[in-house]
């Protein structure tokens, strides 16, 4: 079997070791005579999976005890709405940092729910950078400040986070959660769809500070309330059990590799290869994001002609590379180098880039 050099943006690469372990346990999970998908989510075996995933995430991400860890459905996109539904109040707007496609979607949903304000925007720079901390203006009466820690489409990433005082800081970390250590206590809520850095699609992780759970308006439907899922430990209704199980395997894989700080170094080594290939190409490849905002998860770049970009994608596919086409909204090229993408894939891509330039430069 040859595994593809998988640079997909999401769903994305899952560690081969994890896939093999899931394969081993697929038909008969821990001697139950059935797969994890076939058993009750109220069974002791599944409860163990649910608890272990929570505990592992707490340990790896150093989550303080006054935070809850939830496994929800509906993707990060549902959080765009669930968050303002639960946290917005009349006279207290949701403040949004506008950094690209995902931030925009989050803002648009909040506008359907209540008042919003833009706390900073890098639109004038075509979203090719993140704002500096000084550029972010948090209104004192804001219900929260929302930002997107990594813009998956633009390829930009926050390297530090603003101090928002009493205003809760909320982050959509869908495309960089667990790629680097973070001080969780800086945040009120962190959420992330699993399908980029945590496992398969179908489950969304929400990390929420206890005080933010308590005062959701009475009128919100049950499934959209954070307190519903906190009270039931994410077992209010049938959970996406196979996805949660896969996340638990990925988390154990991260732990076995030494944890998140270790992964950060590994991710740095991986992306440096590719950014160096861009910067060392004498302008043949052009990095999209401004250097200080470059993402360690999604590397966006271009070639001076669209013809050559098409050729790059076509030839890369013939050599086993997958997912190097930029998002349809922005074009160009993109290599997503999430936690599970091995260094070897990045080495192979770097070599391919150098060879492609030699043939076409
Ligand atoms: C992929 C992505 C989303 C959307 O996630 P879904 O789970 O598909 O709803 C939201 N935000 C960011 C930053 C993403 O990368």
pLDDT tens figures, 331-340: 999 999 999 9
Position 289 in a domain: yes
CA-78 nearest atom, ligand 1: 9
Domain extent at residue 356: 258-360
DSSP 298: E
Kindly tell me if the per-residue pLDDT of 286 is higher than 90.
Answer: yes
Q: How would residue 126 be classed by pLDDT, with cut points 50, 70 and 90?
A: very high
**pLDDT, the chain, mean:** 97
* pLDDT for residue 7: 98
Tell me the CA–centroid distance for residue 179 and ligand 1, in Å: 16
Ligand 1 pocket residue status of 174, Cβ below 6 Å: yes
Pick from 106, 274, 92: nearest CA to 166: 92
- Residue in the block written with tokens 């929800």: 72
Tell me the CA–centroid distance for residue 197 and ligand 1, in Å: 11
Q: Which of 236, 256, 276 is the last residue of a domain?
A: 256
Tell me the CA–centroid distance for residue 42 and ligand 1, in Å: 29
Q: How would residue 361 be classed by pLDDT, with cut points 50, 70 and 90?
A: confident
Closest Cα to atom 12 of ligand 1: 174
When pLDDT is averaged across residues 250-273 and rounded to a whole number, the result is 98
Give catalytic residues, as residue numbers: 102, 172, 196
Closest Cα to atom 13 of ligand 1: 174
Q: DSSP secondary structure string, 12-33? A: ----HHHHHHHHHHSSSGGGSS
Ligand 1 pocket residue status of 77, Cβ below 6 Å: yes
Position 1 in a domain: no
Mark whether 138 and 96 lie in a shared domain: yes
Q: How would residue 215 be classed by pLDDT, with cut points 50, 70 and 90?
A: confident
Q: Which of 206, 230, 256 is the last residue of a domain?
A: 256
Ligand 1 pocket residue status of 76, Cβ below 6 Å: yes
φ, ψ dihedrals at 81, nearest 5°: -95, -40
Position 329 in a domain: yes
- How far are the Cα atoms of 21, 149, 175, 257 from residue 17, in angstroms, in the given order? 6, 28, 21, 12
Q: What is the pTM of this model?
A: 0.98
Tell me the CA–centroid distance for residue 131 and ligand 1, in Å: 20
Ligand 1 pocket residue status of 102, Cβ below 6 Å: yes
Tell me the CA–centroid distance for residue 144 and ligand 1, in Å: 20
Residues with Cβ within 8 Å of residue 251, at least 6 apart in sequence: 53, 56, 57, 60, 198
Ligand 1 pocket residue status of 157, Cβ below 6 Å: no
Closest Cα to atom 7 of ligand 1: 75
Mark whether 222 and 277 lie in a shared domain: no
Q: How would residue 232 be classed by pLDDT, with cut points 50, 70 and 90?
A: very high
Here the tokens at position 65 are: 């005890």
When pLDDT is averaged across residues 77-86 and rounded to a whole number, the result is 98
Position 6 in a domain: no
Ligand 1 pocket residue status of 240, Cβ below 6 Å: no
Best of 155, 190, 193, 327 to mutate for ligand 1, by most ligand atoms within 8 A of CB?
Answer: 193
CATH code assigned at 147: 3.40.640.10
Strand partners, 287: 301
Positive or negative CA dihedral for 255, 257, 263, 267? Answer: negative
Q: Which of 256, 279, 302 is the last residue of a domain?
A: 256
Closest Cα to atom 2 of ligand 1: 174
Position 7 in a domain: no
Ligand 1 pocket residue status of 175, Cβ below 6 Å: yes
Ligand 1 pocket residue status of 326, Cβ below 6 Å: no
Are 136 and 111 in contact, with CB atoms under 8 Å apart? no
Mark whether 295 and 204 lie in a shared domain: no
* pLDDT for residue 1: 76
Strand partners, 170: 146, 189
φ, ψ dihedrals at 298, nearest 5°: -130, 110
Here the tokens at position 5 are: 């050099």
Mark whether 184 and 319 lie in a shared domain: no
Mark whether 115 and 157 lie in a shared domain: yes
Give the count of beta carbons closer than 10 Å to the beta carbon of residue 306: 11
Are 300 and 288 in contact, with CB atoms under 8 Å apart? yes
Residues composing the chain: 361
Position 187 in a domain: yes
Tell me the CA–centroid distance for residue 175 and ligand 1, in Å: 7
How deeply is 256 buried, as exposed, middle or buried, from its count of CB atoms within 10 A (0-12, 13-18, 19+)? Answer: exposed
CA-150 nearest atom, ligand 1: 13
H-type alpha helices, the chain: 16-25, 44-61, 75-87, 101-113, 226-231, 241-256, 260-279, 306-318, 343-360
Tell me the CA–centroid distance for residue 34 and ligand 1, in Å: 32
Ligand 1 pocket residue status of 341, Cβ below 6 Å: no
Mark whether 276 and 242 lie in a shared domain: no
Mark whether 143 and 249 lie in a shared domain: yes
Domain count, the chain: 2
Strand partners, 86: none
Mark whether 270 and 243 lie in a shared domain: no
For residue range 317-332, list pLDDT tens digits in order: 999 999 999 999 899 9
């Amino acid at each position: 079997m040859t595994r593809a050099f998988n640079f997909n943006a999401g769903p994305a690469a899952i560690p081969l070791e994890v896939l093999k372990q899931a394969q081993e346990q697929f038909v008969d999970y821990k001697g139950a005579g059935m797969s994890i998908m076939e058993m009750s989510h109220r069974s002791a075996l599944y409860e163990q999976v649910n608890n272990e995933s929570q505990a592992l995430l707490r340990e790896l991400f150093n989550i303080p005890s006054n935070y809850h860890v939830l496994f929800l459905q509906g993707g990060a996109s549902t959080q765009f709405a669930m968050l303002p539904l639960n946290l917005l109040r009349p006279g207290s707007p949701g403040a949004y940092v506008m950094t690209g496609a995902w931030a925009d979607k989050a803002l648009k949903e909040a506008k359907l729910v209540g008042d919003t304000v833009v706390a900073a925007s890098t639109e004038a720079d075509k979203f090719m950078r993140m704002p500096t901390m000084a550029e972010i203006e948090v209104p004192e009466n804001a219900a929260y400040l929302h930002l997107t820690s990594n813009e998956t489409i633009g390829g930009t990433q926050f390297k530090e986070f603003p101090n928002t005082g009493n205003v809760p800081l909320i982050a959509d970390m869908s495309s960089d959660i667990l790629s680097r250590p973070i001080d969780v206590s800086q945040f009120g809520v962190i959420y992330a769809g699993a399908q980029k850095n945590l496992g398969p699609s179908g489950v969304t992780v929400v990390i929420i500070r206890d005080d933010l759970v308590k005062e959701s308006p009475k009128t919100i439907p049950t499934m959209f309330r954070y307190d519903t899922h906190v009270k039931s430990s994410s077992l209010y209704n049938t959970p996406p059990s196979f996805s949660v199980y896969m996340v638990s395997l990925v988390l154990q894989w991260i732990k076995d590799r030494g944890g998140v700080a270790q992964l950060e170094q590994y991710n740095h080594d991986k992306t440096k290869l590719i950014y160096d290939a861009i910067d060392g190409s004498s302008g043949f490849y052009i990095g999209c994001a401004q250097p200080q905002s470059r993402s360690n998860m999604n590397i966006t770049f271009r070639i001076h002609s669209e013809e050559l970009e098409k050729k790059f994608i076509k030839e890369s596919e013939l050599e086993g590379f997958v997912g190097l086409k930029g998002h349809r909204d922005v074009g160009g090229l993109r290599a997503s180098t999430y936690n599970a993408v091995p260094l070897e894939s990045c080495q192979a891509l770097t070599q391919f880039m150098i060879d492609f330039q030699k043939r076409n430069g």
